[in-house]
């Protein structure tokens, strides 16, 4: 992939992902009347809304230089996310009658998106899709960063767990667990190689788990 394509990858991913999700929404709506297909449309619409709320970060990041510190993690992470979403949205559309359990995936998606957006807001200008430091970079320890080192990735994982668990086809489950989750873990490892060079990060990290409270 060319340097220009790598630099614009967040914006390209946003555009491709938005078109794919919009197609998934049309597909769910075209499935006809039914509580499950209606819930599918609601989930996809919520996912699209979340993507649009991050549009400013995606396009701002596309203007930032790529870093060698990234070690290919941004590309791997973005493609794994896209593949997981495509597998979920373009598998069989659920047609069963509505059941109360369907609220659980919806709650996971909304909670995950809210956690991620809150994490981005807490970091402010220090947040980026790129692995990089900026002048006067500081360690954020407020909001969700009181509990976790990387709550934005926790939110990302929760939201996609909700999406995949609703559509629940084997390909999307395999991609979530076998590609997207490992990509997130790798991305965190790459970021922390850089973050440990910042004054105060080591003490910050000692008091918090990375992704899941009390686990890792």
Query: Which among 109, 82, 120 is positioned nearest to 165, based on CA atoms?
Result: 109
pLDDT tens, position by position, 38-67: 888 889 999 999 988 888 776 666 556 656
The winner for highest mean pLDDT among 69-73, 125-129, 141-145, 188-192 is 188-192
Mean pLDDT of 116-127: 83
Q: Which residues, other chains included, contact 104 with Cβ-Cβ below 8 Å and sequence gap of 6+?
A: 162, 165
pTM of the model as a whole: 0.87
Q: Which residues, other chains included, contact 182 with Cβ-Cβ below 8 Å and sequence gap of 6+?
A: 80
Contact 166, 40 (CB under 8 A): yes
**Which pLDDT belongs to residue 129?**
63
CA 138 to chain centroid: 23
């Amino acid at each position: 992939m060319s340097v220009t394509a790598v630099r614009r990858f967040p914006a390209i991913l946003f555009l491709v992902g938005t078109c794919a999700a919009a197609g998934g929404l049309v597909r769910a709506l075209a499935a006809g009347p039914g509580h499950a297909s209606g819930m599918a449309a609601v989930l996809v619409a919520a996912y699209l809304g979340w993507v649009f709320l991050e549009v400013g970060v995606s396009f701002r990041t596309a203007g930032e230089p790529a870093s060698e510190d990234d070690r290919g993690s941004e590309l791997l992470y973005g493609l794994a996310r896209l593949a997981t979403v495509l597998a979920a949205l373009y598998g069989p559309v659920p047609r069963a009658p509505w059941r109360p359990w369907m609220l659980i995936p919806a709650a996971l998606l909304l909670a995950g998106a809210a956690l991620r957006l809150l994490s981005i807001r807490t970091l402010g200008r220090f947040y980026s899709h790129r692995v990089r430091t900026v002048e006067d970079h500081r360690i954020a320890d407020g909001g969700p960063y009181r509990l976790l080192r990387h709550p934005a990735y926790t939110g990302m994982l929760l939201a996609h767990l909700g999406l995949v668990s609703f559509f629940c086809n084997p390909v999307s489950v395999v991609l979530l667990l076998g590609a997207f989750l490992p990509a997130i873990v790798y991305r965190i490892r790459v970021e922390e190689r850089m973050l440990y060079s910042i004054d105060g990060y080591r003490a910050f990290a000692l008091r918090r788990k990375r992704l899941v409270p009390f686990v890792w």
